[in-house]
Amino acid sequence: MSNNSINKASVVNRYLQDRLEPKDYADAFAPSNIALCKYWGKRDGELNLPVNSSLSVSLAHLGSHTKISRSEDGSDKVRLNNKDLPSDSDFSRKVIDFVDLFRRGQKIPLIVDTRNNIPTAAGLASSASGFAALMLALDDFFSLNLDKSVLSAFARMGSGSASRSIYTGFVRWDMGSRADGMDSVASQLDNRWPDLCIGLIKVSSARKPVDSRSGMQRTIETSKLYPSWPEQAGSDLITLEQAIDEQNFAQMGACAEKNAMSMHATMMSAWPPLVYWLPESLAVMQQVWQLREAGVAVYFTMDAGPNLKLLFETASLSVLQTEFPIMEVIQPFSD
Ligand code: DP6
């Protein structure tokens, strides 16, 4: 990690007018995303600047919807999925800290109401869509009219993967090189892949024992394999973009699976070891490998948790639904 003395507030301040012009209400939606080439490791923990560039596919209509309105009783309120959260909860604190970057000490008490429509059974993280939706709603609420790449940079300061959730479809997050991170932003690829399916397989909904931030830090500090990761991720990104361009599903699936396994190898070689898998995760992987041996074009990817995301095309949908009855299917480009 760098000794970067630039903090979030100093970066944001350069883009804001002196006088805020708050509205009474704003709302926004941002999709969740699944990385095919993973972000794993920060070169700057304050700004969430990554060690490597990454690439994801967005989950279309599945994500977070955030509404911001004025709070009449003078205190901030944070709601998540129709429940009022205590002000000292982790989620409330993160949301209010982020809002404060834009409110800059002015007394504008707010209600921030977030609803995730990601199927709860899917076991997907929601910090990416959550911070992207919050950023978009703040942009509207304070009439900031920021460029999309600035919105992506600011969402990244909430959670790295949120930089990608500002866009839909295939999205590449360039690591950038500037100390203030303003070139560490996502952009959308033009490509679409109408036949692409993502199958969510939840093997556990328990909270992950080590969150991504701490997991990344531990991996960087202790894994002897980690130094090979940025190079691996760099070449996977090129292979994936080429596979997407050529709609070469086998190349895309194999590269995404290899990338996820390489990331997990760096985690497992950390100390203490970071093993996000459960026995059931490995059982699903083995089922996928057997299906592939039998000629079904299916691959998987996994994040910092035990759940799997299968990658396949519509031609394999019915056979996979029979194999994995609990799977939830998303077609990112269906409309
Ligand atoms: C394994 O974006 O959740 O899902 O920046 O600390 O909030 P923070 O981490 P986060 O990490 C996501 C890690 C990943 C890979 C990915 O989505 O690229």
CATH topology of domain 8-188: Ribosomal Protein S5; domain 2 (3.30.230)
pLDDT digits (tens, 9 = 90+) for 112-125: 999 999 865 555 76
pLDDT digits (tens, 9 = 90+) for 215-238: 999 999 999 999 999 999 999 999
Pocket test for ligand 1, best of 91, 210, 212, 226 (most atoms within 8 A of CB): 212
The count of residues in the chain is: 335
Give the pLDDT band (50/70/90) at residue 1. Answer: very low
Stretch 261-270: mean pLDDT: 98
- The rounded distance, in Å, linking the Cα atoms of 166 and 154 is 10
pLDDT (0 to 100) of residue 121: 54
Beta strands in the chain (DSSP E): 25-37, 42-44, 49-50, 54-70, 77-80, 83-84, 110-116, 170-173, 186-188, 196-201, 299-302, 308-313, 328-330
Domain residue ranges of the chain, discontinuous segments joined by +: 8-188, 196-330
Expressed in angstroms and rounded, the spacing between residue 160 Cα and the centre of ligand 1 is 6
For atom 12 of ligand 1, which residue has the closest CA? 161
Expressed in angstroms and rounded, the spacing between residue 307 Cα and the centre of ligand 1 is 15
CA angle (212, 213, 218) in 5-degree steps:
95
What tokens were used for 294?
């039998």
Q: Which atom of ligand 1 is nearest to the CA of 304?
A: 1
Are 76 and 106 in contact by the 8 Å Cβ rule? The answer is no
For atom 14 of ligand 1, which residue has the closest CA? 303
Model pTM score = 0.96
Q: Which stretches of 14-163 are DSSP H helices?
A: 90-103, 127-141, 148-158
The residue to which tokens 């709609």 are assigned: 247
Q: Please check whether the domain covering 196-330 is classified as CATH 3.30.70.890.
A: yes
Expressed in angstroms and rounded, the spacing between residue 327 Cα and the centre of ligand 1 is 23
pLDDT digits (tens, 9 = 90+) for 140-190: 999 999 999 999 999 999 999 999 999 999 999 999 999 999 999 999 999
Where b means 16+ CB within 10 Å and e means fewer, 41-74 reads bbbbebbbbbbbbbbbbbbbebbbbbbbbeeeee
pLDDT digits (tens, 9 = 90+) for 66-81: 999 999 999 999 999 9
Q: Which atom of ligand 1 is nearest to the CA of 128?
A: 2
Sign of CA dihedral 59, 61, 62, 65: positive
Are 201 and 326 in contact by the 8 Å Cβ rule? The answer is yes
For atom 1 of ligand 1, which residue has the closest CA? 303
Rounded to 5 degrees, φ, ψ at 334 are -70, -25
Expressed in angstroms and rounded, the spacing between residue 71 Cα and the centre of ligand 1 is 31
Expressed in angstroms and rounded, the spacing between residue 306 Cα and the centre of ligand 1 is 14
Identify which of 304, 280, 307, 275 has the alpha carbon closest to the alpha carbon of residue 119: 307
Expressed in angstroms and rounded, the spacing between residue 231 Cα and the centre of ligand 1 is 18
- Residue 38 Cα distances to 79, 215, 260, 319, 323, angstroms: 30, 14, 7, 28, 27
Pocket test for ligand 1, best of 39, 46, 48 (most atoms within 8 A of CB): 39
* Identical fold, 8-188 and 196-330: no
For atom 11 of ligand 1, which residue has the closest CA? 212
Q: Which atom of ligand 1 is nearest to the CA of 131?
A: 7
- The rounded distance, in Å, linking the Cα atoms of 137 and 112 is 9
The verdict on whether omega for the bond into residue 272 sits within 30 degrees of 0, i.e. cis, is yes
Give the chain's count of helices (H) and strands (E): 9, 13
Expressed in angstroms and rounded, the spacing between residue 186 Cα and the centre of ligand 1 is 14
Q: Which atom of ligand 1 is nearest to the CA of 159?
A: 7
Expressed in angstroms and rounded, the spacing between residue 154 Cα and the centre of ligand 1 is 15
Average pLDDT in the chain: 94
- The rounded distance, in Å, linking the Cα atoms of 210 and 226 is 18
Q: Which atom of ligand 1 is nearest to the CA of 162?
A: 2
Are 33 and 171 in contact by the 8 Å Cβ rule? The answer is yes
Task: Give percent of the chain with pLDDT exceeding 90.
Answer: 88
In terms of DSSP bridges, do strands 110-116 and 299-302 run parallel, antiparallel, or are they unpaired? unpaired
Q: Is the pLDDT of residue 50 over 90?
A: yes
- The rounded distance, in Å, linking the Cα atoms of 153 and 131 is 11
Where b means 16+ CB within 10 Å and e means fewer, 187-198 reads eebeeebebbbb
Identify which of 210, 214, 207 has the alpha carbon closest to the alpha carbon of residue 123: 207
Ligand 1 pocket residues where CB is under 6 Å: 35, 38-40, 48, 54, 125, 127-128, 159-161, 212-213, 303-304
pLDDT digits (tens, 9 = 90+) for 12-31: 999 988 788 899 999 999 99
